[in-house]
Structure 1
Amino acid sequence: MATRLLSPKLLNDLRYFTRPLNSASSASITAVSPLNLDEKPKPTAVERPPINQPSTTLDLNDHQKLFDSVSTLQLLRSSANLGLASIEPFVDFGLWVMNSRLLETSLIRGVILKTVKHTFFEHFCAGETTEEAGECVKKIQEAGLRGMLVYAVEHTSDNAGCERNLEGFLRSVEFAKSLPPSSVSFVIAKITAICPINVLRRVSDLLRWQYKDPSFNLPWKLNTFPIFCDSSPLYQTLQKPEPLTPQEELDFQLAHQRLLRLCQKCVEDNVALTIDAEDTSLQPAIDYLTYSSALMYNRDDNPIVYGTIQSYLKDAKERLFLAEKTAEKLGIPMGFKLVRGAYMTSERKLASSLGYDSPIHNSIQETHACYNDCASFMLERIADGHGAVVLATHNVESGQLAASKARDLGIQKGNQKLEFAQLYGMSEALSFGLRNAGFQVSKYLPYGPIDMVMPYLLRRAEENRGLLSTSSLDRELMGKELKRRLKNLQFSKPEITAPSSIKVEIGTQ
């Protein structure tokens, strides 16, 4: 099957991609301009919230109600950790320390890792073992949330390491099955953990070149959904790549077999699997593996395999549309996790070094608009009986708009095809607000030995420095709730009022 499966007419329909998140439902997608959060709504005959006003679906002001399931000790620790993470010089110093040669000295390394473990590791990670992760899942379930289990391995260079990582992912699925029903929404996997990086890069080059030249033959290629669109960045492959060597082809086949084993395990245990996204130099091969596996295993109404779309990429909307519409045409239910993206600095540096425009949107407003448009499109698809989506966002306005859109479309709260998600330790107010509004909400729970999880923590600190520095809503609401609880404490003994008379009755049996 060729990658371009859609008719010219369907491609022309891209200009009708989506409606604003707060528009009312209809049977078809109507033409509108991209979501503009500064645009004033036009009067309509349908009673609905104004397009650019936050929905009243979520209440993010009642700090007592939001944090009623969080202990005072946990509030204190979270507030302290978020406060530290919001200080950019502190984050810069921490990044320098973790990347320095200080970690080569065993004594100093031990002190540093112990400090990290009892601060940021405990705040952003679910533990070092599956047992600790399980306790974390049970804790957040008591708070009305679900867990996404993330065995935090990535970037492997050899097949032996890939096999070890696969066993870890399989254990995650087995462990998810053993936890209370519905407490785990997804198991998360990274293709970079089960396929050598150099092979992913080579396959991505070949896929890009075939998109440029459809006559370019890839004998190993299986059926898949569209991976590219006309606006996709192809500058990473400037020359015709050599075919895969026999060893590279074998390594790639082994990687695909690992993913299929993981998918089969997820089907057997009825645990959904989400494949995380990487940078654009690797993403084509990741999408290829994800989509070809989805074609094999997404047979029932609720998909098992989910891919990830990074909305900070300029081609995100078009690629999402093409993949989802092709899935519908083939009768395959497809799930997507929508994120904003996590490789902004490296993507811009690479594009600039090659003399090309960045594949990332030029402004944060454009990224927000793209995310909201993608969310709107997928909510429309769910309302029409197609697809599934995880709306992974820390942006309060995106959460409010999506919740309002779901309500207007008549998507029932608790619908298995709609999940909101935030990172563990971040955007607690949004998570609890969505929970209180009746939606399914998950927390992304990375776990594993601290040495193994360290790359995740370092990347999270670097990529989210802007987000962490603007986590003022959580810190403000946590502060108010702590003040309220402190105020309600009684520091003096209650007064004892002596009764005016005491009646004592003495009797015998």
Structure 2
Amino acid sequence: MINKKIFNNTKSAFKLKSNTELDRAIFLFSMMNRPTLVKAGSALTKFSLKLHLPVETLIKKTIFEQFCGGVTEEDCKPVTNEMYDENLHSILDYSVEGKKTEEEFDAAMEKKLSLIEYANGKKEISFAMFKPTGIGRFEIWEKVSEKLSLSDDEKEEWKRVKKRVDTLCSKAHELKVRLYADGEETWMQTAADDLMEEMMRKYNKEEVLIFNTLQCYRWDRLDYLKGLHEKAEKEGFKIGAKIVRGAYMEKENARAKKLGYASPICESKEATDVNFNSTLSYCLKNLDDISVFIGTHNEVSSYLALQIIEDKGLSLDDKRIWFSQLYGMSDHISYNLAKKGYNAVKLVPFGPVRDVVPYLLRRAQENTSVKGQTGRELSLLREERKRRKGDESTKSHRE
């Protein structure tokens, strides 16, 4: 039986954190445990940046250093190398959001291409990624998803978006680098799903290099995956499924209510958990056709995956199974999985401090909205602080 205590090992979870970094993490997670404070802090940060107040240093020394690897890829090197020494892989994410022009989308694609090339041949970087709305206007994804007719200009624009996606997937295929498309809101996700399915059909014939994200707080995702699996078996391609719980719940429910349609989101946290775990089990039971990237900060789901891996007698480092958490969060899961020999990977965001702020604020808000998540994180960090103090006093007694 799987040892249900592996995630409690705080010594290996926070091994790379100095006492100062540990204290900073305790301070930040204490703040994030208070939703009203997060709301006020987010508003204040946006306001300060708008007025060009000198807050960048403060942001850099606190939330940025907790959740980002640095400003450039080079800055991230010590971080990714240090983690890889502990058998923990990385994905570099240039987390600049909210671009609007064709020039910006082309530049974003070039940046993502350079990151695919950067990952090539680097053992510590196991995936590359892109966000569909980072390389094409949100509204065009939405129009295509809703099957609305496009003007001639929009048809040309959509062609350019598809070309960017194909350029990235083609490069990933050529260099044998795994690449995933991040999840988006439901009202533009259909176009992304269709396009990523096309990419899998084209590039996942022999091995799985192209992945699409399934947000399992959507109650239709398991059926979607089963339908995709049928097509894949029939047409001879393989599926890359990145499964996560989901990131836009409040926005999704509010839009459904406002426009008067049934919410695409599961009715409760429990229903989401059931849906995620069912999707996870389905992937792990069909590994000949589906490679799975398990993006979760949930211990129960992680233990379920470990149990299935053990029951099926699979190798711990089976290349078709990856576990992933965000940099700066859930180290107790990532480092302990890596230590046991599973394929574990951290998503390491980077970029200019000011440009990464929207990403950081979303992180802080997501942390606040996941019930119990921040509290668990905080209790483990405090436990490690206590353990170190105990070690220090034992050491000084000996001396």
TM-score of the two chains, using structure 1 as the length reference: 0.74
Q: Does the 8 Å CA contact 1:66/1:433 hold for their aligned counterparts?
A: yes
Q: Does the 8 Å CA contact 2:166/2:199 hold for their aligned counterparts?
A: yes
Identity within the alignment, %: 30
Q: CA deviation at 1:414?
A: 0.5
Q: Aligned pairs, how many?
A: 398
Q: Does the 8 Å CA contact 1:148/1:187 hold for their aligned counterparts?
A: yes
What is the identity, as a one-letter code, of the residue corresponding to 2:77? G
1:305 maps to which residue?
210
Equivalent residue runs for 1:148-167 within 5 Å: 148-167=91-110
More off after superposition, 252-261 vs 69-78: 69-78
Residue by residue over 1:351-377, the C-alpha shift from the partner in whole angstroms, topping out at 9 and shown as x without a partner, is 101122211111100000000000000
**Which residue of 179, 182, 185 corresponds with 2:126?**
185
1:195 maps to which residue?
136
Q: Does the 8 Å CA contact 2:367/2:374 hold for their aligned counterparts?
A: no
Measured in 2, the distance between the counterparts of 1:476 and 1:494 equals: 29
Residue by residue over 1:222-269, the C-alpha shift from the partner in whole angstroms, topping out at 9 and shown as x without a partner, is xxxxxxxxxxxxxxxxxxx3x211111111111111111111221222
1:96 maps to which residue?
43
What is the identity, as a one-letter code, of the residue corresponding to 1:187? A
2:378 maps to which residue?
475
Measured in 2, the distance between the counterparts of 1:246 and 1:79 equals: 54
Residues 295/94 of structure 1: CA separation in 2 closer, same or farther (3 Å cut): same
More off after superposition, 458-467 vs 422-431: 458-467
**Which residue of 327, 344, 355 corresponds with 2:260?**
355
2:161 maps to which residue?
255
2:354 maps to which residue?
451
Equivalent residue runs for 1:30-429 within 5 Å: 55-56=2-3, 59-100=6-47, 102-106=48-52, 108=53, 110=54, 112-177=55-120, 179=122, 181=123, 183-206=124-147, 241=148, 243-301=149-207, 303-382=208-287, 385-429=288-332
What is the identity, as a one-letter code, of the residue corresponding to 1:78? A
SS in 2 for 1:489: helix
Q: Does the 8 Å CA contact 1:307/1:335 hold for their aligned counterparts?
A: yes
Residues 450/492 of structure 1: CA separation in 2 closer, same or farther (3 Å cut): closer
What is the identity, as a one-letter code, of the residue corresponding to 2:275? C
Q: CA deviation at 1:391?
A: 0.6
What is the identity, as a one-letter code, of the residue corresponding to 2:200? A
What is the identity, as a one-letter code, of the residue corresponding to 1:324? H
What is the identity, as a one-letter code, of the residue corresponding to 2:170? Q
Q: Does the 8 Å CA contact 2:71/2:353 hold for their aligned counterparts?
A: yes
SS in 1 for 2:146: helix
**Which residue of 325, 332, 340 corresponds with 1:437?**
340
Asked which structure has the greater CA Rg, the reply is 1
Measured in 2, the distance between the counterparts of 1:75 and 1:373 equals: 35
Residues 342/492 of structure 1: CA separation in 2 closer, same or farther (3 Å cut): closer
Unaligned runs of at least 5 residues, structure 1: 1-48, 50-54, 207-240, 496-509
SS in 2 for 1:307: strand
Q: CA deviation at 1:58?
A: 5.1
Measured in 2, the distance between the counterparts of 1:463 and 1:114 equals: 23
1:218 maps to which residue?
none
Unaligned runs of at least 5 residues, structure 2: none
1:220 maps to which residue?
none
More off after superposition, 318-327 vs 342-351: 318-327
SS in 1 for 2:6: coil
Residue by residue over 1:123-145, the C-alpha shift from the partner in whole angstroms, topping out at 9 and shown as x without a partner, is 11111111112222112212221
Q: CA deviation at 1:69?
A: 4.5
Measured in 2, the distance between the counterparts of 1:492 and 1:200 equals: 62
**Greater fraction helix:** 2
Q: Does the 8 Å CA contact 1:148/1:184 hold for their aligned counterparts?
A: yes
Residue by residue over 1:267-309, the C-alpha shift from the partner in whole angstroms, topping out at 9 and shown as x without a partner, is 22221101001001110111122111221111222x1110000
Measured in 2, the distance between the counterparts of 1:105 and 1:377 equals: 50
Q: CA deviation at 1:494?
A: 7.0
Deviating above 6 A after TM superposition, structure 1's stretches of 4 or more consecutive aligned residues are: none
Q: Does the 8 Å CA contact 1:148/1:188 hold for their aligned counterparts?
A: yes
Residue by residue over 1:16-59, the C-alpha shift from the partner in whole angstroms, topping out at 9 and shown as x without a partner, is xxxxxxxxxxxxxxxxxxxxxxxxxxxxxxxxx6xxxxx42651
Measured in 2, the distance between the counterparts of 1:153 and 1:103 equals: 15
Residues 155/492 of structure 1: CA separation in 2 closer, same or farther (3 Å cut): closer
Residues 298/481 of structure 1: CA separation in 2 closer, same or farther (3 Å cut): same
Q: Does the 8 Å CA contact 1:125/1:445 hold for their aligned counterparts?
A: yes
Residues 114/178 of structure 1: CA separation in 2 closer, same or farther (3 Å cut): farther
SS in 1 for 2:214: strand
Equivalent residue runs for 1:490-501 within 5 Å: none
Residue by residue over 1:397-420, the C-alpha shift from the partner in whole angstroms, topping out at 9 and shown as x without a partner, is 111111111111122111110000
Q: Does the 8 Å CA contact 1:57/1:403 hold for their aligned counterparts?
A: no
